[in-house]
């Protein structure tokens, strides 16, 4: 990526550059409608899901009634992007706009995620984006353990099918569920974790929606992205 485009995307993310006159070194700093179906929930069989291809998996997810969220969703948010991607982005759950459009990370948070990816030389269509939950929790509440448990086989299968070189977990809830921990985000950031039996490298960063509310944390997010880029390039 040429330097002019890189600066453009860094600025969109909230990162501006300054150049020291004595050394010429460049540094980055931060600017200051319900489903009418009444089907009883049925558990997801993980062993069964683990054998599905992309088309069968998406059909299974779209018809899922394993938890109560199927009663209040507008549509399922399965995932989008390159199904052979080196990077897989995993968030928490769909919000209101995602529920309406059926696509993860849209709206202002999605625009910021796109800018974050652009800043490290990636396009949205080059990565695969999914969520821990495939249906929106009412009022954007936190996912409940039983909901995460029912959706987990779907996400595991998506990871297995993509076989990414790196997983970027965005936000506390995504990171805690992927890593099976209650540790705070501050302790999960800044180092490389591993996910699943394949021990896929996993890096944790802030959710774009949080960065919109707390722009001072964008500098830390930029450090996370640089770490992820380094790990993916190994």
- In angstroms, what CA-CA distances link 113 with 9, 15, 116, 139? 11, 13, 5, 22
Q: To the nearest whole number, what is the mean pLDDT of the chain?
A: 88
Task: Write out the two tokens for 51.
Answer: 């054998």
- In angstroms, what CA-CA distances link 9 with 27, 77, 155, 231, 233? 15, 27, 30, 21, 20
Residue 29 has pLDDT above 60, yes or no: no
Strand partners, 129: 80, 89
pLDDT of residue 12: 61
pLDDT of residue 42: 59
pLDDT of residue 40: 45
128 neighbors 87 (Cβ within 8 angstroms): yes
Domain range annotation of the chain: 33-232
Mean pLDDT for 183-212 is 96
C-alpha to C-alpha distance for 177 and 130, rounded to whole angstroms: 14
Neighbour order of strands in the sheet with 200-205: 80-81, 128-131, 87-91, 166-170, 200-205, 193-195
pLDDT of residue 38: 41
Q: How confident is the model at residue 33 (pLDDT cuts 50, 70, 90)?
A: very low
Q: What is the pLDDT of residues 106-117, one digit of tens each?
A: 989 999 999 999
166 neighbors 117 (Cβ within 8 angstroms): no
Q: Which residue has the tokens 């999605």?
A: 110
216 CA to centre of own chain: 21
SS3 content of the chain, % helix, strand, coil (to 5): 45, 15, 40
Mean pLDDT for 14-24 is 54
Q: What is the pLDDT of residues 115-145, one digit of tens each?
A: 999 999 999 999 999 999 999 999 989 999 9
pLDDT of residue 1: 62
Give ∠ CA 20-7-223 in degrees, rounded to 5: 75
Percent of the chain with pLDDT over 70: 81
Domain topology for 33-232: Uracil-DNA Glycosylase, subunit E (3.40.470)
C-alpha to C-alpha distance for 41 and 38, rounded to whole angstroms: 9
Q: What is the pLDDT of residues 55-104, one digit of tens each?
A: 999 999 999 999 999 999 999 999 999 999 999 999 999 999 999 999 99
Phi, psi of 24 (to 5 degrees): 75, 5
pLDDT of residue 44: 74
pLDDT of residue 217: 96
3 CA to centre of own chain: 27
Secondary element (H or E) of residue 26: strand 26-30
C-alpha to C-alpha distance for 158 and 164, rounded to whole angstroms: 10
């Amino acid at each position: 990526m040429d330097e002019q485009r890189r600066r453009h995307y860094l600025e969109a993310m909230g990162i501006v550059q300054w150049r020291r006159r004595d050394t010429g070194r460049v540094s980055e700093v931060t600017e200051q409608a319900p489903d009418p179906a009444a089907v009883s929930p049925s558990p997801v069989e993980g062993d069964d899901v683990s054998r599905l291809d992309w088309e069968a998996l998406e059909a299974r997810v779209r018809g899922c009634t394993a938890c109560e969220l199927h009663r209040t969703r507008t549509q399922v948010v399965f995932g989008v992007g390159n199904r052979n991607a080196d990077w897989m982005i995993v968030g928490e759950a769909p919000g209101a706009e995602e529920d309406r459009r059926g696509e993860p990370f849209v709206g202002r948070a999605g625009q910021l995620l796109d800018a974050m990816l652009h800043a490290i030389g990636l396009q949205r269509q080059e990565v695969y984006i999914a969520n821990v939950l495939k249906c929106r929790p009412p009022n954007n509440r936190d996912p409940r353990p039983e909901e995460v448990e029912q959706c987990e086989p779907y996400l595991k299968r998506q990871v297995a099918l993509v076989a990414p070189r790196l997983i970027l977990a965005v936000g506390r809830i995504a990171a805690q569920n992927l890593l099976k921990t209650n540790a705070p985000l501050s302790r999960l950031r800044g180092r490389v974790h591993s996910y699943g039996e394949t021990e896929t490298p996993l890096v944790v960063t802030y959710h774009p929606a949080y960065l919109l509310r707390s722009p001072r944390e964008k500098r830390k997010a930029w450090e996370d992205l640089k770490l992820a880029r380094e790990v993916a390039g190994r």
